[in-house]
Structure 1
Amino acid sequence: MSHDGVTPRSVMRSVAFLTAGALAVPALAGCGSEDPAGKPLAGQDIAPAARAQVADGGTLRWAVDAVPETLNTFQADADATTTRVAQAVLPSMFRLDRTGRPEINPDYLESAEVVETEPRQVVLYKLNQQAVWSDGREIGAPDFAAQWRALSGKDSAYWTARNAGYDRIERIERGANDLEVRVTFGRPYADWRSLFSPLYPKEVMGTPDSFNDGARRKLKITAGPFTVKKVDRKDDEVTLARNPRWWGDPAKLSRIVLTAVSREERAAALAAGTVDLAEIDPAAARRITAAAAGPRGTSASPDRGTPASPGEDTPASPGEAGSASPGEDSSASPDRDASASPDHGDDKADGDESRHAAKQARRERELSTYEVRKSLEPAYTQLALNGSEGPLADERVRRAVARALDREALAAAVLEPLGLPAVPVGSHLALAGQFAYADSSGALGDQDTAEARALLADAGWLPGGPLKETEKGEKAAGARGEKAGGSEEDGKDDTERRSGGDDDGVYIVGQDDKSGGAGGSGDSGKDGSSGKEGHGPRHLAQDGAQHLKQGGAPGAYAPKGTAAPAGAKSGVLTKDGKPLTLRFVLPSGPGSDSLRTVADRISRMLDRIGIRTETTKVSDESYFKDHIASGQYDLALYSWPASAFPATDARPIYAKPVPAADGSLSVEQNWTRVGTDQVDQLFDQAIGTLDESESRSLIRKADARIWAAAASIPLYQRPQLIAARKNLANAGAFGFETPVYEDMGFLKKGVRVSPSPSK
């Protein structure tokens, strides 16, 4: 689960947390039953148009988070922009369809299939006869072999971030002719379709020096609809140009300029007309929607084809009177003499107000040329529980936390205001529509406050009892305004509450930080999580007392024969004189308001079962490195991307932590530090079988056990909000599907297309 520029970028694909205990797995769908994978909850929204409707030429200015540090996707500091460039300029043997499943990319492959299974698995690739690198050389076996040797993990001189799958290859050789590549595996590999996407030329992969340094700042040889023309770190831009050697459908656009624009500056960039396509937060989306509606609620631009078509090197901005050009000072008044009107008796304040109004009107006119395209990202936000120490090391406490959550209410708070399906995510390893998806949350159980309290009682956490004094003489956990330790800078007490917000938690490991989500205030849901009682900060002890009135006498859920402790009516859950308090660590950046809103709702839900939370806000820069990855948290929120190859990509995230040679604990990417041998075995079996049905069944069994361990609780699929020029076609909220860069472009003048259909 990463964050655009905030998290370790070495995690390229993955999902989130692990299990404990051999608990019952719900029965999976049998023969003849409906596939539990279902369909994606939301379709694409890209303003689809036939190529004949799209103009030739033009420059698409696409906002990204940063100019990438490297153009080599297999290096540790690769980021989402690295991936964006690779998709446009490099071969990919397989691409993802609208359901997030891999399909052959016909621009590079005629076919690819397993042709032998005994004594070794052999995959035969038959390449497109026209597929060539930009220097004219045919794509072939030497390129496949060079990439395998670089990523096999056998040569430490290659600074690779991942080797999964390539380490199972035994040899690569030419087939019956130059257009065939024969790949022999030493061990069976179910996710073989994940390999060679992207494929780099042998000139990049051939030596450690060219791999480590040669492809960081430039790619001289490419094989896609675009080439890398320039990486300009001074102007924070990467320019892609149409590839004259491209054998497929020629790119409609002449250029794509990936320009670095921070999340906080994107609304201003849109208002200035300096970008054509940008991921945005809900606040910017609301502003664009209001601008498009016009001053009286009438559409300012009734169709997608109204703005003027762009020129070869000019932005696709409408040429409205008074609209500033991208290079023009947008603060200038359309009437340059407006401030010099002494004859009318206007004072300076009136002039300033007039100029401000004119500037604002100009921005609103510019914003009205955009529309918001929305879908659900192939990523989900989850609550992570650190099981390495403290109360959450006890599986019963983790399960109590999970059973206290109203996941439907949390999903609704984020997604309903955006008009997106508010359905809780039912799997750690896939999303609805993907091959491996099935709702396995039944292994944990639905929200049940009584059961959550019973689990806590069984773990020895009972209401009331004396509190031990800390070394500083403060109570270990106190009433409103008291801290359990730490400075005011490091953490705030658990009574601080937030509502509203513009981002659902932009932290996604291995890909671009995307904005999304809109939180709401107040709770809604089951077991008392709705209504007036859920609003606003309240003294935790007061809440505990209210629980006792509603839920029965102290000790009612403790093991039979347990006496109610002294002071039980305080409602504080204690064990050995210590209160049950969990540290909730959250990022403090302006783009994470919605994350904090979700955290606030979770805190109130936990409060109802007697668990206190103390919120600590930390800088975005230190959130992952200093807290999540290092285990300095009890509860945290961030997102994981869904993978088409969970047996490969999720394995390091759920692997059982093991002692390293230096005595430390090796957790790979398992930041909850909870794992079991059983889950590891299920992943190993899933990756080693070539029976797709069996592999899917094993993945779903692993997911059920991950649910039962309650170290990671999936909440909702992340929203995807994209601001796009109304006349920009085949681009926007892509959902699962790999973008088709050659089809993107601006509509011909007068062409109108319908919005993308909802699915």
Structure 2
Amino acid sequence: MRQQTPTAAWAAATAAAALLVTGCGSSDDDGKPVAQQSAAPAGSQDINAHPLSAVKQGGTLKLPISQWIADFNRYTANGNQGDAAEINELVEPSLFSADAKGEVHEDKNFLLSAEVTSTSPQTVVYKLNPKAKWSDGKPLSWRDFEAVWKALNGTDKEYEAGSTAGYELVGKVEQGADAHQVKVTFTKPYADWKRLFDPLLPAAGIDTPEKFNKGWTEQIPITGAAFKISSYDKTAQTITAVPDPNWWGTKPKLDSIVFRALDYSAWTDAYLNKEIDYATAILPEDYKRLAKAAGTDIRVGARWDEVHIEFNGAKGPLKDVRVRQALQHAIDRKSIAAAFGKDLPVELKTYGSHFFMPNQAGYQDNSGSYGAYDLDAAGKLLDAAGWKLEGDKRVKDGKQLTLSYTLSSGSTSAQVDQAQLVQAQLAAAGIKLTIDKVPANDYFSKYVTIGNFELTSFRWVDQTFRSEAYPIYRQPEGKNLFQNYGSVGSPEVDALLEKAAETTDPAAANKLYNEADAKIWALGHSVPLYQRPQVLAVRSTLANYGATGLADDDYTKVGWLK
């Protein structure tokens, strides 16, 4: 899964039913009507699809990213940030690609086939494309699979792996029938085996802890896809990708893709000034300006995307589960969703699961009493924890209950509004909440991913495989937080998620994920707020790009119409 900044992500969960994006009218400040959006089913996409014959050769695509990239290794906690993962996946082999329904298929540029050849023990044989090579000239091979496995299986603690999910179930990686085959043998069944080794990283770049941990800092040492990085300009805050002349597949249409680090607050103006070619239009003030811009499409799609508030159970008063549970009751999720969705052409709904979207097969509301806005219940929990109400303040041992909310300085107005709304809601429960803004480039690496916060808010997106959520909720091991940045977990949750990952029957697996979810709510791990749709402003002449829904981007097809 990916972290989408500065509200965040990773990926794990299958697609399903329909997300209804309801249409509603809106008007611009000058009274001119803004485009009305129609309902969009889950898995739908709006990318201005065209055949390659309609796309001209050449041109530059200018894309915004939210911060300068500190780590490009997709498999470390820092490198798992959304922008870093997007660029990593642009230049490294993706063995499987997802379609608009979230179904994954082999990318024949890298992988001719992959199949389970035995179930006892589970064995998968991969047949690699013999043409596929790394930028250092070496062919893709079983050695690359082995290096990824050794770095991520958790046996060598020197590797700073963001997640070991799935890899710890692999017992052996070896060459298959020839140099272009890989044989992977599991110690236990693993339902989501297609999510492993994807993207594939080169053994030469990760085969020691030093290379894995430090070799991808602000640069990508070896590439192996249609694009490569031609320059990193930290002064201009740009990263430029160009087609690799050694690419063996269909030639990309674009001459270059330029990623520019910009605070979210600057995206709309940058788009209107033609400095970038797409911008998010999900904020009402941005939507009104972008929807009327000449030569612009508002492209709407439905993806797995949730906004939540994370609690840190390793810090101060939040070490007490009763305080975390009290926060769940004191935060009015419906008010937050309504405030964010005001004047937007989409409907935002709260929901009750950490694993499933409401429109997804397997979803059930497991929030129970914990997800209900209830100040009386919050007060009783705080009383039990020793935080007694004195006037309008909760006090213990002469000190007021005070917490902090860590916020990126690059946050949108909606994110600032959300923090202030939570601040007011907690004040009604007698809790003082300070809002601490931190530099945008430091938000994840120096705060979120190392657990240096009490409350914060970000997003988990694109959870195509549910087992990928395991590191979000598993108990940390020493300094390795995995993606459980708030360090809230339990042996019971770990056991349920491990069992679910080994369960190949979808219905049985969903039941286990829902059992784990109920326990996660009871632990006060985090509060899911609402499902977030895609609403994007894109140049109308840009083809095969935009709101991808549950699909992956294919940059070899992206380009400008003739």
**TM-score where L is the length of structure 1:** 0.61
2: CA distance between counterparts of 1:444 and 1:274?
45
1: CA distance between counterparts of 2:234 and 2:272?
24
Give the greater-gyration-radius structure (CA). Answer: 1
Contact 2:475 2:487 in 1 (8 A): yes
Shift of 1:58: 1.9
1: CA distance between counterparts of 2:540 and 2:15?
37
Which residue of structure 1 lines up, in the alignment, with residue 199 of structure 2? 198
2: CA distance between counterparts of 1:104 and 1:588?
38
Which residue of structure 2 lines up, in the alignment, with residue 682 of structure 1? 496
2: CA distance between counterparts of 1:577 and 1:176?
70
State the Cα deviation string for residues 606-631 of structure 1 (Å, max 9, x = none). Answer: 555x4343333333467667776777
State the Cα deviation string for residues 361-419 of structure 1 (Å, max 9, x = none). Answer: xxxxxxx2334434466432223344457665554554444344442332122124221
Which residue of structure 1 lines up, in the alignment, with residue 403 of structure 2? 583
Contact 1:37 1:437 in 2 (8 A): no
1: CA distance between counterparts of 2:480 and 2:253?
49
Contact 1:62 1:275 in 2 (8 A): yes
Task: Give the counterpart letter for 2:89 in structure 1.
Answer: Q
Aligned residue among 417, 420, 425 for 1:597: 417
Which residue of structure 2 lines up, in the alignment, with residue 734 of structure 1? 548
Change (3 A) 1:422 1:88: same
2: CA distance between counterparts of 1:96 and 1:200?
19
2: CA distance between counterparts of 1:385 and 1:138?
45
2: CA distance between counterparts of 1:62 and 1:627?
26
Task: Give the counterpart letter for 2:85 in structure 1.
Answer: T
- Describe the SS at the equivalent of 1:442: coil
State the Cα deviation string for residues 145-176 of structure 1 (Å, max 9, x = none). Answer: 34334444555676655444334333222333
1: CA distance between counterparts of 2:411 and 2:518?
33
Aligned residue among 610, 613, 618 for 2:432: 613
Which residue of structure 2 lines up, in the alignment, with residue 303 of structure 1? none
Task: Give the counterpart letter for 1:182 in structure 2.
Answer: K
Change (3 A) 1:49 1:443: farther
Contact 2:290 2:296 in 1 (8 A): yes
Which residue of structure 1 lines up, in the alignment, with residue 30 of structure 2? none
- Describe the SS at the equivalent of 2:556: helix
Contact 1:434 1:644 in 2 (8 A): no
Shift of 1:428: 1.2
- Describe the SS at the equivalent of 2:87: helix
Task: Give the counterpart letter for 1:643 in structure 2.
Answer: Q
Determine if the alignment matches structure 1 residue 425 to structure 2 residue 244. no
2: CA distance between counterparts of 1:437 and 1:177?
43
Change (3 A) 1:12 1:211: farther
Determine if the alignment matches structure 1 residue 124 to structure 2 residue 109. no
Which residue of structure 1 lines up, in the alignment, with residue 97 of structure 2? 95
1: CA distance between counterparts of 2:483 and 2:135?
37
1: CA distance between counterparts of 2:484 and 2:212?
28
- Describe the SS at the equivalent of 2:184: strand
Which residue of structure 1 lines up, in the alignment, with residue 17 of structure 2? 38
Structure 1 window deviating more from structure 2 (226-235 vs 681-690): it is 226-235
Equivalent residue runs for 1:13-52 within 5 Å: 13=10, 38-40=17-19, 43-52=44-53
Equivalent residue runs for 1:476-515 within 5 Å: none
Task: Give the counterpart letter for 1:698 in structure 2.
Answer: L
1: CA distance between counterparts of 2:451 and 2:177?
53
Structure 1 window deviating more from structure 2 (576-585 vs 691-700): it is 576-585
Shift of 1:687: 2.7
Aligned residue among 105, 108, 111 for 2:107: 105
Contact 2:308 2:527 in 1 (8 A): yes
Which residue of structure 2 lines up, in the alignment, with residue 706 of structure 1? 520
Change (3 A) 1:160 1:605: closer
Task: Give the counterpart letter for 2:238 in structure 1.
Answer: E
Which residue of structure 2 lines up, in the alignment, with residue 141 of structure 1? 142
Which residue of structure 1 lines up, in the alignment, with residue 308 of structure 2? 382
Structure 1 window deviating more from structure 2 (41-50 vs 630-639): it is 630-639
Unpaired runs of 5+ residues, structure 2, are 21-39
Equivalent residue runs for 1:177-188 within 5 Å: 177-188=178-189
**TM-score where L is the length of structure 2:** 0.79
Structure 1 window deviating more from structure 2 (726-735 vs 229-238): it is 229-238
Determine if the alignment matches structure 1 residue 260 to structure 2 residue 261. yes
1: CA distance between counterparts of 2:255 and 2:303?
28
Contact 1:429 1:436 in 2 (8 A): no
| Bigger strand fraction | 2
Shift of 1:235: 4.3
Contact 1:125 1:180 in 2 (8 A): yes
